[in-house]
Amino acid sequence: MSRRLSSCTALLLLLSAVTALAQAPAPPVARRQSHAMSIHGHTRVDDYYWLRERGDPEVIAYLEAENAYSEAMMAGSATLQSELVAEMRDRIRKDDSTAPYLLNGYWYWQRFVEGGEYALWCRRADRPDAADEVMFDGNEMAAGASYFSLAGVEVSPDARLAVFGVDTVGRRFYTLRVKDLATGALLDDEIRDVTGEAAWALDNRTLFYTRQDPQTLRTWQVWRHALGTPVADDVLVHQEDDTTFECSVWRSKSDRYLMIASSQTVSDEVRLLEADNPTGAFRVFQPRRRGLEYSVEHQGDRFLVRTNLEATNFRLVECPLDRTGLEAWRDVVPHRPDVLLEGFEVFRDWLVLAERHDGLTHLRVLPGDGGAAHTLAFADPTWSVSPEANPAMDSDVLRYRYTSLTTPPTVYAFDMRTREQTQLKRQEVLGGFDAANYVAEYLRVPARDGTLVPVSLVRRVTTPVDGTAPLLLYGYGSYGYSQGARFNGNALSLLDRGFVYAIAHVRGGQEMGRQWYEDGKLLKKLNTFTDFIDCGRALVERRYASPDGLFAMGGSAGGLLVGAAMNLEPGLWSGVVAHVPFVDVVTTMLDDSIPLTTGEYDEWGNPNDKAYYDYMLSYSPYDQVEAKAYPALLVTTGLHDSQVQYWEPAKWVAKLRALRTDTNPLLLRTNLDAGHGGRSGRYRALEEAALAYAFLLGLAPAR
């Protein structure tokens, strides 16, 4: 057992006197006794297990001490951080708004007012004399709260009422309320400690909402509430007893059906109910079957289903309204081994497919009359594109959002009948931004097994490719989430100071198709980490990055990525930024009482099986910390994080302090009033970005 400081108070007194040149605080050690975990004949001893006791004053004191140390260590960059915040803030148009969309006789949009942290949710009737209405003023609603999230806003079919959810803690427990949009009054209905998700039935008085398990936070129940009745009388309409599944509820785009989906990593099950019969019984669309994934939408006299049935990269099938089992499924878009069907959007007379090939997403429009399909074309070398708000079925116009590493997010209206396109809104970037000053590239980098891994990167035109530039490599690589090449206005502060910014599209995402995901999960998870390392090496070899100026960044499962890469190749990185990192993989996956565990056995494996235990132990960043030199490291977390509990990064940093042999900066910054997404608000979040950028800039080699 390691020695333990006699009191966290002593640590706080010590830290109050440190300067930017001070040594790091000693790590906390085991309180009372170390925590030993034995399974499969193997015992793991965790000296820092006690840090999970959120209500213990000594835990909070430790986190505050680390915050004080981080602040002292970064004190020399205070001016730079202020400059960065000012730059990022000055690029944002203060009175910006989103592109309005039309639904049920009203135009809806969000807008910001100068100085406001949160959006105003607005609408206007679709007539010439109509005035703007503010449905929700986020700034007014957030007054007095250190954290604020408005979610689940759904307007009733008759456009008279709106349900909404508010969270002021950051742990994603919302309170649902209903507002009369004509009078501005809140109805008496108040549903506490729910997910924030809700769907209206067509009677405009019945709501369906979801509840999470209060301990594991798994969304496991769907309830029905009639306005004006006590919450105690609400009816449970579905309960998901399989702990590997979560459920959700929504109304189909056609408004005809209410749908409940139960989903896990490799299986889905959808239930249907006519939306004009809210007290009826939901029926199963297709019973769950392990390995069968599917999603459903309604269009006219058929259901459309995206499924992996006999289709690794998914296919689109249809079935009649009265026969929905898979025996009735017929191909609309067959499976293609080189194209991943990511999703689809339905209209009355059109079908739009989001398809990914060669690592990039494309939008393909299919007319309902069987005419020729049309694929939208884009000119950038790498990009991200997706359908935007398209709530109306009876429309010939597709709204989509396009962005690239050099193109700010832009919403277009594409007339599917005439193929004419109109730009509705481009995010304005102030401060003299000119896309011509930057150049983007799309590379293919060979991994150690010969697989070509895509890399998207951007730099200023004046930044040379001669091996002298610092480079920040970002990655994620889990859950099949593909990382699009999106514009990042904040990152201009790095690019304008000579950095190159790159995204490694490693296995574990789906950039190159479904197999790309399969080859980066479970017992192939190490591919994710070695791909990232090999991309970093290649960028140095190709002289995009200085050998002493390669940096890594990732968040959540991306924090696992950079943590594992740092253990495997510590000498490759000059610095690492890990946001809310998932780094204590084995302990978390053995604890089915905490959020996300049971639903992720098919992502990481179940360590109660020795094969998975041994494999995840081999890469878990916390377990693999050794007595060796590590790169400089900045770690961020949130006390109320419901996805990656704060104690994972806290324990990781403590163990690194105890074992590392280097004297590089090692900083832990805990946001004590936020969760997984960090600080809320339009401008306050910039302070966290500025901290990370100042950390990187302070480590970058002189040029």
Provide the annotated active-site residues. Answer: 556, 641, 676
Q: Which positions ≥6 away from 41 have C-beta within 8 Å?
A: none
Pairing state of beta strands 283-284 and 294-299? unpaired
Planar angle of CA 659, 605, 288, nearest 5 degrees? 155
* Closest among 40, 36, 45, 37 to 609, alpha carbons compared: 40
| CB-count exposure of residue 223 (10 Å: 0-12, 13-18, 19+) | buried
Helices 57-73 & 647-659, crossing angle to 10 degrees? 60
Helices 557-568 & 526-541, crossing angle to 10 degrees? 70
* Closest among 386, 378, 324 to 353, alpha carbons compared: 386
DSSP string, 570-625: GGG-SEEEEES----HHHHHH-TTSTTSGGGHHHH--TTSHHHHHHHHTT-TTTT-
List the beta bridge partners of residue 551: 472, 575
Sign, CA dihedral 48-51-52-56, equals: positive
Question: Which residue is it, tokens 């579905």?
Answer: 238
Phi/psi of residue 598, nearest 5 degrees: -65, -30
Judge contact between 657 and 595, C-beta under 8 A. no
Q: Write out the two tokens for 672.
A: 């004590």
Judge contact between 205 and 226, C-beta under 8 A. yes
Cα 28 from Cα 589, distance rounded (Å): 24
Q: Strand, coil or helix: what is 211?
A: strand
DSSP string, 664-679: S-EEEEEETT-BTTBS
First to last CA, the chain: 46
Cα 472 from Cα 700, distance rounded (Å): 10
Cα 695 from Cα 689, distance rounded (Å): 10
| Residue 96 CB neighbour total at 10 angstroms | 17
List the beta bridge partners of residue 585: none
Q: Write out the two tokens for 397.
A: 């116009």
Cα 258 from Cα 360, distance rounded (Å): 33
Judge contact between 490 and 433, C-beta under 8 A. no
Cα 275 from Cα 5, distance rounded (Å): 61
Cα 46 from Cα 33, distance rounded (Å): 10
Cα 559 from Cα 578, distance rounded (Å): 5
Q: Strand, coil or helix: what is 659?
A: helix
Question: At 540, which amino acid appears?
Answer: V
Q: What is the DSSP letter of 130?
A: P
| CB-count exposure of residue 567 (10 Å: 0-12, 13-18, 19+) | buried
Q: What is the DSSP letter of 336?
A: B
Q: What is the DSSP letter of 514?
A: H
Judge contact between 472 and 493, C-beta under 8 A. no
DSSP string, 48-107: TGGGG-TT-HHHHHHHHHHHHHHHHHTGGGHHHHHHHHHHHHHTB-TT-BPPPEEETTEE
Q: Write out the two tokens for 241.
A: 């007893």
